[in-house]
Copies of this chain bind each other. A is one copy, B any other.
Amino acid sequence: MGEFELLAKLRERLPAAGPRIALGSGDDAAVTIPGGATATSVDAIVEGVHFRRGEADLATIGRKALATALSDLAAMGAEPGEAYVVLGAPGDLDEDGFHALLDGMLELAQATGTAIAGGDLTRAPVLTLAATVVGHAPEPSDFVTRGGAAAGDLLVLTGEIGGAGAGRLLLDDPTLAGAVSEDAAARLRARQLDPSPRLHSGRALAQAGATAMIDLSDGLAGDAAHLARASGVGVEIDCGSLPLAKGLAEVAAASGVDPLQLAVSGGEDYELLAALPANALGEASLRMGEAAETTLTPIGKVSSAGGVEFRLPGGGRLEAVGYDHLAEP
């Protein structure tokens, strides 16, 4: 099957038009009528770097490609709009494989109200997926950047952290799975392989008045440092209050790593870290409840001094560094 025949088949599965889409995939470019302001982000995942084929089915890999990009829109408090996907395919990916990747992407696209409006298909030595996503808001100021946190703000975190890191350990060494229940192991692996963009949470926090927000792709230590630097502030994180993924402690112990270190330095949890004025916590909790997506936990505060401090419950500090995607194998 040639390029054009396959493209035509894949395109049949994409929307021809939509709320903001005057012209979908199939021409030289997609035509949209954005209105207001847009937030645009691009994210790529590469076989052997961000995932391994065999660890997850192709639909899950496709879903992760879109999820990691949408997570950036969540961190802006944006309403997801359109996605444009590059699919670099090795020679052994057959027609069913292309459809399976698209299955995963379309499933998440539909669940999140995202329209896949265009893309490109090419040969590549390993499976390579890049998604550019466009989110919307009435005004540029409706988006929450990393740069607005002020001393005295609370730091809040959605969901649990460390699950993706523990999942990576379980995938690398399946014998570790004996340390936790089968269910817990499956959940941890899913945190690594099949992340959920916190789009509802991001909008809830934006509407509640979040002053700064970032998604955790590099780990809490790294991403808290990004937020602090962009805002020109410091952050103090109370390690005792961190919501650690269930089973993380057991997996970390079985593999001889410090659970707290794994939780704050492991990347790819795709939870949201936000700064909130202290008086906005009530409204944020209420809106997070309405969004019914995940939990919200206060984990510390914004200070005027620069840098990130992880305070241990017994006193003292945890030294932690972020995840370096370029240093990965």
Interface residues of A (CB under 8 A from B): 2-4, 6, 22-23, 26-34, 36-46, 48-50, 72-73, 75-76, 78, 82, 84-86, 88-89, 117-126, 128, 130, 132, 134-135, 140, 143, 145-147, 213-215, 222, 230, 322, 324-328
Contacts and interface: CB of A to CB of B under 8 A. Distances in A.
Contact of A326 (B26, B72, B121, B213): B121
Q: Which 6 residue pairs spanning A and B have beta carbons closest together?
A: A3-B326, A29-B39, A29-B41, A132-B132, A22-B140, A28-B75
A28 B76 contact: yes
B38 A34 contact: yes
A88 to B, nearest CB: 6
B42 A120 contact: yes
Given A3-B325, A28-B72, A29-B73, A43 B145 contact: no
A161 to B, nearest CB: 17
Nearest to A214: B28
A99 to B, nearest CB: 15
B76 A44 contact: no
A159 B215 CA distance: 47
Contacts of A78: 29
B84 A29 contact: no
A215 B3 contact: no
A134 B31 CA distance: 10
Nearest to A44: B86
A123 B44 CA distance: 10
A246 to B, nearest CB: 27
A118 B73 CA distance: 13
Nearest to A215: B28
A230 B23 CA distance: 13
B122 A50 contact: yes
Given A325-B122, A327-B3, A31 B38 contact: yes
B6 A326 contact: yes
A75 B41 CA distance: 24
B32 A86 contact: no
B30 A117 contact: no
Nearest to A323: B3
Contacts of A117: 40
A117 B40 CA distance: 9
